[in-house]
């Protein structure tokens, strides 16, 4: 710190010789002139003193009969005049300062933190609609309005805070963790449960509605399993009216299903020739600066690597560089052998079965066979599965007819 | 005669400072030397430099002269209040 201050104010290295240099030093200290790094070099003394005090030496020199010569000059006061002469350097310095000052008036980075459901893309489009983009003036940003808009547009956002730190706009949002309660439309007319497959009913638990089938029954696709119209009887066991409910039941149906997967005999494999070409580019904001280049190979794929130096990322400078690596390849036609086809097809079947099991379908039996047909390997899997069935089908508004029939009955 | 008169005066002063337990370097203007190993000496309460070479530094104090002897002696800084000598100090002599 002291050194820095000395440097800022400028100091000199001087040489003192003559009648009594010791007296010269004593007088200096008496007049509160600080001397440092005093060294004896033969007959002369070398010492440092500040630029200001150098101008006060005249009388002391006269008094003591010594002579003083400047050896070296240090510090900013000596450096500045030199700098003034370097016009281009100075212009660069001024330009840099100006550039930093002007560029700090804009937003250079927008960060979104805390989004899980809202995708970055949808938020970006929202920001575009709000006219908030990288490179906009800081002054034209209304943070409160932005926060309000976020809450208005994204209903799942419960809390939001936008913060401008330097040239970076940081938007923190908090989404509602609890599932959004979607109000089910109140259905006045009820719904039947209809079977989707042909099969045998293994078990059934009915919660609401009138069951039309029982365990062990063979049912066909489209059969009504549970009716949503519950009859209300008169005292004489005639039907007075129907009450409509949403039929609800767990019905386990055992049915057969077949899965067929196929695989062509031949396939095209990428064989890399090993020849690669790399092209570098610089990205400034949205713009990409690169050298124009024709397509490097006849058939190729490209690998893009992009990185942003940490310093730029921290400072919020949207500058990054990257490279394209073009890799040439040839399309080679290959044929699957039986064992290869077997493994690939059985994998396909297995993934299908896994998805079935994830859905809660129990697999009771499985018969798999591989065959060839029309230049293809074909795998057939006959499955016997048990799964929950029943799709809701809204009852057509026959309320009138029912009431009519009701009246008929009454009559 | 004059000399005889002075001695009891300084003796009296010393006695007073001693009995009142006052710091002697302030009240008597005594030299204060702080040595760090044999490489550094920090000195207060001196009048001035009488002689300075790289082998010895002779200082004038209020009551006596002090000579620092050694090799490669240099003065780091020199002000009205204090100074710092660095180098290889071999002896400190009161003359």
State the pLDDT confidence band at A184, using cuts at 50, 70 and 90: low
Same domain, A160 and A229: no
* Helix, strand or coil, per DSSP, at residue A329: strand
Q: What chain B residue is nearest to A33 in terms of C-alpha separation?
A: B79
Is B48–A36 a contact, with Cβ atoms under 8 angstroms apart?
no
pLDDT tens digits, A113-144:
888 888 888 888 998 888 888 888 888 888 88
Is A45–B48 a contact, with Cβ atoms under 8 angstroms apart?
no
Same domain, B26 and B8: yes
Nearest to A178, CA basis, from A158, A161, A160: A158
Same domain, B61 and B89: yes
How much of chain A, in percent, has pLDDT values that exceed 90? 8
Same domain, A257 and A356: yes
Domain end: A62, A80, A98, which one? A80
Is A22–B74 a contact, with Cβ atoms under 8 angstroms apart?
no
Same domain, A354 and A319: no
Same domain, B54 and B82: yes
pLDDT of residue A183: 58
Q: Check if the interface score ipTM surpasses 0.90.
A: no
Q: Is residue A241 part of a domain?
A: yes
Q: Domain range spanning residue A50?
A: 2-80
Parallel/antiparallel/unpaired status of strands A229-233 and A239-244: antiparallel
* Helix, strand or coil, per DSSP, at residue A150: helix
CA–CA separation, A410 vs A396, rounded Å?
A: 23
Same domain, B39 and B60: yes
Same domain, A209 and A237: yes
Give contacts of B 11-50 with A, CB under 8 A: 47-50
The first and second tokens of residue A302, run together, are 């490209």
Given a cut of 70, whether residue A398 has pLDDT beyond it is: no
Domain end: A27, A60, A80, which one? A80
Q: Domain range spanning residue B65?
A: 31-95
pLDDT tens digits, B13-34:
778 878 887 777 777 778 889 9
- A-chain CB neighbours of B50 within 8 Å are 22
Give contacts of B 59-88 with A, CB under 8 A: 74-80
Is B75–A28 a contact, with Cβ atoms under 8 angstroms apart?
no
Q: Is residue A114 part of a domain?
A: yes
Same domain, B12 and B35: no
Same domain, B19 and B52: no
State the pLDDT confidence band at A265, using cuts at 50, 70 and 90: confident
Same domain, B61 and B79: yes
Is A34–B77 a contact, with Cβ atoms under 8 angstroms apart?
yes
Same domain, B36 and B22: no
Same domain, B61 and B95: yes
pLDDT tens digits, A281-340:
888 877 888 887 777 788 888 888 888 888 777 777 778 888 888 888 988 888 888 888
DSSP B33-79: EEEETTTEEEEES--EEEEE-SSEEEEE-SS-EEEEEEEEEEEEEE-
Same domain, A157 and A128: yes
If one counts every other C-beta atom within 10 angstroms of the C-beta of residue A25, the result is: 25
Cα distance from B69 to chain A (closest Cα, Å)?
Answer: 14
Q: Is residue A21 packed enough to be buried (19+ CB in 10 Å), middle (13-18) or exposed (0-12)?
A: buried
Same domain, A146 and A116: yes
Nearest to A279, CA basis, from A322, A308, A320, A318: A322
Is B50–A40 a contact, with Cβ atoms under 8 angstroms apart?
no
Is A29–B74 a contact, with Cβ atoms under 8 angstroms apart?
no
A–B CB contacts, 8 A cutoff, strictly below: 53
Q: Is residue A101 part of a domain?
A: no
Q: Is residue A131 part of a domain?
A: yes
Is B52–A30 a contact, with Cβ atoms under 8 angstroms apart?
no
Interface test with B, best of A28, A39, A47 (most B CBs within 10 A): A39
Q: Is residue A88 part of a domain?
A: no
Domain end: A334, A350, A380, which one? A334
Same domain, A202 and A165: no
pLDDT of residue A182: 57
Instruction: State the pTM of this model.
Output: 0.41
User: Do residues A38 and B75 lie in contact, with contact meaning Cβ atoms separated by under 8 Å?
Assistant: yes
pLDDT of residue B40: 93
In eight-state DSSP terms, residue A285 is T
Count how many domains chain B has. 2
Same domain, B57 and B92: yes
Parallel/antiparallel/unpaired status of strands A168-175 and A109-113: parallel
Given a cut of 60, whether residue A403 has pLDDT beyond it is: no
Same domain, A275 and A258: no
Cα distance from B84 to chain A (closest Cα, Å)?
Answer: 9
Mean pLDDT is lowest, of A115-124, A181-190, A247-256, A321-330, for A181-190
Same domain, A230 and A346: yes
B52 touches chain A (CB under 8 A): yes
Same domain, A154 and A208: no
Given a cut of 90, whether residue A69 has pLDDT beyond it is: yes
- A-chain CB neighbours of B86 within 8 Å are none
Q: Is residue A366 part of a domain?
A: yes
Low-confidence ranges of chain B (pLDDT < 70): 1-10
Is A25–B52 a contact, with Cβ atoms under 8 angstroms apart?
yes
Is B75–A35 a contact, with Cβ atoms under 8 angstroms apart?
yes
Same domain, B13 and B53: no
Q: What CATH number is associated with residue A118?
A: 3.10.20.310
Count how many domains chain A has. 4
Same domain, A156 and A285: no
Cα distance from A311 to chain B (closest Cα, Å)?
Answer: 42
pLDDT of residue A301: 87
Residue with tokens 């004489």: A236
A35 touches chain B (CB under 8 A): yes
Same domain, B78 and B39: yes
Angle at CA of residue A81, ends A75 and A84, nearest 5°: 125
Same domain, A167 and A215: no
């Amino acid at each position: 710190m002291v050194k820095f201050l000395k440097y800022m104010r400028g100091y000199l290295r001087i040489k003192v010789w003559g009648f009594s240099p010791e007296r010269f030093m004593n007088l200096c200290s008496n007049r509160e002139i600080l001397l440092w790094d005093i060294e004896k070099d033969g007959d002369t003394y070398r010492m440092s003193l500040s630029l200001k005090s150098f101008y006060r030496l005249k009388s002391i020199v006269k008094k003591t009969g010594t002579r003083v010569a400047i050896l070296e000059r240090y510090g900013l006061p000596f450096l500045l005049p030199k700098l003034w002469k370097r016009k281009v350097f100075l212009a660069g310095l001024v330009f840099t300062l100006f550039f930093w000052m002007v560029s700090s008036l804009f937003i250079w980075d927008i960060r979104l933190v805390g989004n899980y459901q809202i995708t970055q893309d949808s938020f970006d489009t929202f920001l575009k609609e709000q006219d908030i983009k990288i490179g906009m003036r800081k002054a034209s940003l209304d943070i409160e309005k932005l926060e309000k808009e976020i809450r208005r547009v994204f209903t799942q956002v419960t809390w939001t805070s936008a913060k401008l730190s330097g040239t970076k706009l940081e938007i923190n949002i908090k989404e509602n963790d609890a599932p959004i309660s979607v109000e089910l439309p109140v259905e006045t007319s009820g719904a039947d449960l209809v079977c989707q497959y042909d099969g045998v009913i293994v078990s059934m638990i009915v919660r609401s509605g009138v069951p039309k089938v029982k365990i062990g029954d063979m049912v066909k696709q489209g059969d009504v399993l549970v009716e949503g119209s519950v009859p209300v009887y008169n005292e004489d066991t005639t039907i007075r009216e129907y009450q409509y409910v949403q039929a609800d039941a767990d019905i386990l149906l055992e049915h057969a299903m077949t899965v067929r997967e196929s695989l062509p005999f031949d396939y095209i494999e990428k064989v890399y020739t090993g020849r690669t070409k790399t092209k570098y580019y610089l990205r400034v904001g949205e713009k990409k600066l690169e050298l124009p280049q024709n397509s490097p190979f006849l058939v190729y794929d490209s690998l893009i690597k992009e990185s942003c130096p940490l310093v730029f990322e921290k400072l919020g400078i949207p500058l990054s560089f990257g490279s394209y690596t073009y890799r040439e390849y040839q399309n080679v036609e290959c044929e699957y052998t039986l064992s290869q086809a077997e493994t690939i097809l059985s994998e396909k079947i297995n993934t299908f079965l896994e998805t079935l099991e994830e859905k809660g379908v129990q697999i009771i039996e499985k018969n798999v066979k591989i065959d060839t047909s029309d230049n293809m390997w074909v795998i057939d899997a006959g499955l016997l599965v048990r799964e929950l069935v029943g799709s809701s089908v809204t009852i057509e508004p026959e309320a009138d007819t029912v009431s009519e029939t009701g009246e008929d009955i009454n009559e | 005669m004059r000399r005889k008169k002075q001695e009891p005066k300084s003796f009296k002063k010393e006695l007073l400072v001693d009995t009142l337990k006052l710091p002697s370097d302030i009240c008597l203007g005594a030299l204060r030397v702080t040595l760090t190993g044999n490489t550094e000496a920090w000195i207060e309460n001196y009048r001035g430099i009488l002689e300075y070479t790289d082998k010895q530094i002779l200082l004038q104090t209020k009551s006596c002269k002090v000579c620092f002897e050694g090799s490669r002696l240099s003065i780091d800084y020199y002000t009205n209040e204090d100074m710092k000598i660095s180098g290889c100090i071999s002896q400190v002599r009161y003359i």
